[in-house]
Amino acid sequence: MEIPYTVQPRPDTGIYNAKVGIWLFLASEVMLFGGLFSGYVLLRVGADQWPHGWLDVRFGTLNTIILALSAITTLLAWAACKVGHFGKFKFFHACTLLLALSFLSVKMYEYHDKWIHYEIKLADGTFADGHLVEKSADFDLAQKTGTVTLHGRIVKDETLLYDLRSQKNIELKEVTVNASDIVKMENYGPWHNTFLAIYFTLTGLHALHILGGSIVIGYLWGPGSKMWKKDPERFTNRIEVSGLFWHFVDLVWIFLFPVLYLT
């Protein structure tokens, strides 16, 4: 038994099955990210203060370029299949995979940067804020022993930590505080505030999509490419369908970048 229209388009709809499938799937993905984006809007509208300039626009731009390039290589890989150049296909999708890897590396670096960034509320009402340099060997928050050193600054008012974009030339230096002076110490994880919560959730889910897409493309590039010999047309369809998914994931980033980095 054979399912019709798995390879050739159905004449009256003009489309083959998997392509219908992927478009429907992408429609549901739009709703998934749409749900999270509307969450973002509601949280931001209701927030007392919303951080500005917490993310490094340079990394965001770099990642935008990386994904834009990968969109091009994905398209070229499909076109190569269409005209029967298997070698070129291999080359272009190898590029796609490398670009995906670079994207994830940059993202990991950014996550790490937030992970080691601490805000410390001090007993005198001021705040120490910056990247962790070191904790002394006997540092223990509960026992109130030892010291912690940050590369950052001390501010009198927490709101100063929120709007970084309006403050020019922020001076950063090493500050060391005693554990006994610490009221609360927290890194910039998703628990720190709703901005970071939605940032990690949105970009994390997006990164999972990148990972999933890479696995599929990697499979089609590696073991899955055997199909090219037997059924090139069907294989080309697979490249097209996975490519559509990849373009969607790129598109999500095009929304994420301004929403999280630029506003």
Contact in structure between 129 and 151 (CB atoms under 8 Å): no
List binders of other proteins among 113-152 (CB under 8 A): none
For residue 168 the two structure tokens come to 């020019």
Choose, by CB under 8 A, the member of 145, 147, 178, 194 that binds other proteins. 194
- Among 61, 84, 159, 219, which residue sits at the site for other proteins (rule: CB under 8 A)? 84
Q: Please name the helix (run of DSSP H) or strand (run of DSSP E) that holds residue 185, with its range, or none.
A: strand 182-187
Residue 93 contacts residue 76 (beta carbons within 8 Å): no
CB of 191 to other proteins, least distance (A): 4
Of 61, 112, 156, 191, the one binding other proteins by CB under 8 A: 191
Closer residue to other proteins, CB minimum distance, 83 or 142: 83
What DSSP string describes 69-122? HHHHHHHHHHHHHHTT-HHHHHHHHHHHHHHHHHHHHHHHHHHHHHHTEEEEEE
C-alpha Rg value of the chain to the nearest Å: 24
Query: Exposed, middle or buried by CB within 10 Å (0-12, 13-18, 19+), for 174?
Result: exposed
64/209 with CB nearer other proteins: 209
- Determine the Cα–Cα distance for residues 120 and 61; give it in Å rounded to an integer: 30
Q: How far is the CB of 195 from other proteins (least distance, A)?
A: 9
Nearest distance, CB of residue 188 and other proteins, angstroms: 11
> Considering the complex, what minimum distance in angstroms separates the CB of residue 32 from other proteins?
4
- Interaction of residue 25 with other proteins, rule CB under 8 A: yes
The residue among 195 and 246 lying less far from other proteins, judged by its C-beta, is: 195
Alpha helices (runs of H) in the chain, residue ranges in sequence order: 17-46, 57-82, 86-115, 159-162, 194-221, 227-230, 232-256
- Interface mask toward other proteins for 161-190; x: CB under 8 A: ----------------------------xx
Residues in contact with other proteins by CB under 8 A are 1-18, 20-21, 24-25, 27-29, 31-36, 38-39, 42-43, 46-48, 82-84, 189-194, 197-198, 200-201, 205, 230-234
